A and B are shown apart, each in its own frame.
Chain A
Amino acid sequence: MQFRPDVGIALNQLAQVLLAEEASLSKRDRELIASFVSSRNACTFCVTSHGAIAAHLPGGNQELVEAIWKDYKTAPIDDKLKALLQIAEKVAKGGLHVTQADITAAKEKGGSDLDIHDTVLIAATFCMFNRYVDGLGATTPYDPGFYEIVGRQRAAEGYLTKSVLVKD
């Protein structure tokens, strides 16, 4: 994103409205969807950074994030979020994989149209971010301390502030 600054600004604004502004789903749940989809796309950078952000938000912790990566169906989350993650998993495969039964199940568990819309769009957006990051072979840090800093900063500030990790 530093490579093409105008595009970087638009991408951060998209992340901001999708994940950090007010919405029907909590910020934690939206970050969990982002991290989960990234895990299905095997994008280490996005999996780890959005997992760390979710862990720093109210109701989040690292054990919960890891339980969702491993098997969201047995993770300690409510049935609505499980149904939404099932939709997100289908979206990661392709939009046409989402069935009426997936949607009905989410609605029966209390998922609103806005919840379902935002789930599909967050999942679709991370199918973009994951491909962008890995398609250009961007550097993926291995140091857990890096993701700890990113998680704390983005959970507190959203996506429009300058990264504390970038030196002038």
Chain B
Amino acid sequence: MPHIALHPDLYGITSLLDFRPEIAAPLCRLTQLLLRGESTMTEAEREMIAAHVSSLNACTFCSSAHTAATCLLPGGKESGIEPMQTDLQALHISDKMKGLLSIATKVQKNGNQVTQHDIDVARASGATDLEIHDTVLIASLFCLYNRYVDGLATLTPSDPEFYTTLGKRITTRGYLMPEDGYDATNYKPNII
């Protein structure tokens, strides 16, 4: 059960964005810019950073949702990513993405864990300053979301279908809040 009184028919982050919409607005704009804004990284690559950090933080809701989103985007399914996966070497991705995900791995521990060597490796495989910047900020943003979702013990569905539906929503509509708020659906997933 959540630690505070949230809408009973909303789950994970959605129940929190609904609780405090005035704070949700800039948070959603930030997420939209980073994961859907113009970038030299594909949307699947950016979703993969979100899924990877969420796995390291053991946040089932975010890890499952962003893995589902990654797999629905071009190139995502072929990468071999799956929910709660922490092994980068098992992924079929470019050396540049491995370099960037290694930086994200350090950021998940703490910002001061990132070394000049980590940055040099990513640059040597073709990463630009902007890609490194966005990787660090996406990883940091999911250190926020994961703590927010689990720190308040929001409801976490266990059904894979729930995350496929959510993945479709965030890969088609993006992250900006609907003007009339989030709809509770009649679908009642099982809860972990």
Contacts and interface: CB of A to CB of B under 8 A. Distances in A.
Interface of A: 3-4, 6-7, 10-11, 13-14, 16-18, 21, 41-43, 87, 90-91, 94-96, 98, 100, 103, 113, 116-118, 120-121, 123-125, 127-137
Nearest to B119: A137
Nearest to A93: B147
Contact of B27 (A14, A42, A118): A14
Contacts of B93: none
B26 A131 contact: no
A127 B25 CA distance: 19
Interface of B: 3-5, 16, 19-20, 22-23, 25-27, 29-30, 33-34, 37, 57-59, 103, 106-107, 110-112, 114, 130, 132-134, 136-137, 139-141, 143-153
A127 B27 CA distance: 14
A26 to B, nearest CB: 17
Nearest to B146: A95
Contacts of A42: 110, 112
A4 B23 CA distance: 21
- 4 nearest A-B residue pairs (beta carbon): A134-B111, A95-B150, A95-B151, A124-B147
Candidate in A96, A103, A116 with the most chain B CB atoms within 10 angstroms: A96
A110 to B, nearest CB: 15
A90 B57 CA distance: 13
Candidate in B4, B5, B33, B111 with the most chain A CB atoms within 10 angstroms: B111
Contacts of A16: 26
B26 A10 contact: yes
B175 to A, nearest CB: 11
A14 B23 contact: yes
A132 B23 contact: no
B145 A135 contact: no
Contacts of B112: 42-43, 134-135
